[in-house]
């Protein structure tokens, strides 16, 4: 059974979250402080953390930062409707999604399920990439361990972290149409609602680096209304 730890200093919210998620086959450990959260995570494995950023007597941002430094666990943060700055800062600290109070239990459940699906997709790709030393296509080579791209002429092509992740995602699923949502999951770019257009920007930059004519791409092709496809065969070096 999926295990969620919910940190909120409002007993009514803790009770509602635990009761509703429990009815939907999600086990909840409800805690009221950062210390209780740390103790719960030290005691047993959790799949996701729900974190209220506005806690009485505690800094929710500090808790979020510390949690992200120690773990890659998905974080769903709770904020007030008017606290846009909190949402932005929370996302920058590494939270994966947010929900504004008051919220419906059904939306909470939907957000949790979406985050867990994304985390599973990321874990699957990470496991596959851990077994891959390099990808090769049309004379190019992407070295996964060194995070280096080499052109057919032997030149080293500099990639940003985002460009590397997007290219690796494409090479892990060649000749398959990938939607923006799938690319967001596979490349570990967090929070599709906020960063969806970042996919298009990363692909534009990648095309400029690997395509002979970025306006007429041969590798990364657009499938109108569906997403993108890496259109050439890819060899895997294990």
| CATH number, position 92 | 3.40.50.2300
Tell me the pLDDT band of 226, cut-offs 50, 70 and 90: confident
Q: Of the spans 57-71, 118-132, 138-152, which averages the highest pLDDT? A: 138-152
Q: Is the pLDDT of residue 163 over 80?
A: yes
Q: How far apart are CA 70 and CA 54, in angstroms?
A: 21
192: left (phi over 0), alpha (psi -120 to 50) or beta: alpha
Over range 147-168, report the average pLDDT. Answer: 90
- What pLDDT was estimated at residue 192? 37
The answer to whether 202 and 209 have CB atoms below 8 angstroms apart is: no
Same domain, 215 and 190: yes
- 61 and 54 in contact (C-beta within 8 Å)? no
Q: How many domains does the chain have?
A: 2
Q: Give me the CATH number covering residue 214.
A: 1.10.10.10
97-131: string of b/e by CB count within 10 Å (b at 16+)? bbbbeebeeeebbebbebbbebbebbeebeeebee
Of 93, 126, 159, the domain-final residue: 126
Q: Picking from 8-17, 23-32, 93-102, 114-123, which range would have the lowest pLDDT averaged per residue? A: 114-123
Q: Which among 195, 190, 217, 194 is positioned nearest to 205, based on CA atoms? A: 217
- 236 bridge partner residues: 135
| pLDDT tens digits, one per residue of 89-140 | 878 777 888 888 889 999 999 999 988 888 777 666 666 666 788 999 999 9
Distance (Å, rounded) from C-alpha 163 to C-alpha 178?
16
Whether residues 98 and 168 fall in one domain: no
Shared domain check, 148 and 199: yes
What mean pLDDT is reported for the chain?
Answer: 86
pTM listed for this prediction:
0.57
pLDDT given at position 189 = 42
182 touches 227 (CB < 8 A): yes
**Would you give the distance in Å from CA 178 to the centre of its chain?**
16
DSSP string for residues in 139-175: TEEEETTTTEEE-TTS-EE---HHHHHHHHHHHHSTT
Phi, psi of 76 (to 5 degrees): -110, 110
Write down the pLDDT at residue 89: 80
> Is residue 188's pLDDT more than 80?
no
Between CA 22 and CA 4 the distance in angstroms is 10
Mean pLDDT (whole number) for 55-59: 85
Domain end point (choices 92, 126, 160): 126
Which of 99, 126, 153 is the endpoint of a domain? 126
Phi, psi for residue 153 in degrees, rounded to 5: -85, 0
Residue 171: give the domain boundaries. Answer: 131-237
Q: How would you classify the pairing of strands 48-52 and 75-80? A: parallel
Rounded Cα distance between 142 and 16, Å, is 48
Alpha-carbon distance 234 to 141, whole Å?
Answer: 10
Residue 195 has pLDDT above 50, yes or no: no
Q: With pLDDT > 90 as the criterion, what percentage of the chain qualifies?
A: 45
Give the C-alpha separation, 189 to 192, whole Å.
8
pLDDT at res. 191: 42
Check residue 57 and report its DSSP letter. Answer: T
- Tell me what percent of the chain is helix, strand and coil, each rounded to the nearest 5: 45, 25, 30
pLDDT score at 95: 83
Q: What is the pLDDT of residue 94?
A: 77
Per-residue confidence (pLDDT) for residue 98, from 0 to 100: 87
């Amino acid at each position: 059974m999926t295990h969620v730890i919910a940190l909120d200093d409002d007993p009514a919210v803790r009770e509602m979250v635990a009761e509703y998620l429990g009815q939907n086959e999600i086990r909840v450990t409800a805690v009221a402080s950062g210390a209780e959260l740390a103790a719960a995570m030290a005691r047993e494995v959790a799949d996701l953390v729900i974190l209220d950023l506005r806690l009485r007597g505690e800094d929710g941002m500090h808790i979020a930062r510390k949690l992200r430094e120690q773990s890659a666990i998905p974080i769903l943060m709770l904020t007030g409707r008017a606290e846009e700055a909190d949402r932005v800062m929370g996302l920058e600290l590494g939270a994966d999604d947010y929900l504004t109070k008051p919220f419906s239990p059904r939306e909470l459940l939907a957000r949790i399920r979406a985050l867990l699906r994304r985390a599973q997709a990321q874990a699957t790709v990470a496991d596959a990439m851990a077994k891959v030393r390099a990808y090769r296509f049309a004379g190019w080579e992407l070295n996964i361990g060194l995070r280096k791209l080499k052109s057919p002429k032997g030149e080293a092509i500099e990639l940003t972290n985002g460009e590397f992740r997007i290219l690796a995602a494409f090479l892990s699923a060649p000749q398959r149409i990938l939607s923006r949502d799938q690319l967001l999951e596979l490349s570990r770019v967090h929070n599709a609602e906020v960063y969806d257009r970042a996919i298009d920007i990363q692909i534009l930059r990648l095309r400029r680096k690997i395509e002979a004519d970025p306006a007429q791409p041969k590798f990364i092709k657009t499938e109108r209304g569906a997403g993108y496809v890496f259109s050439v065969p890819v060899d895997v070096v294990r």
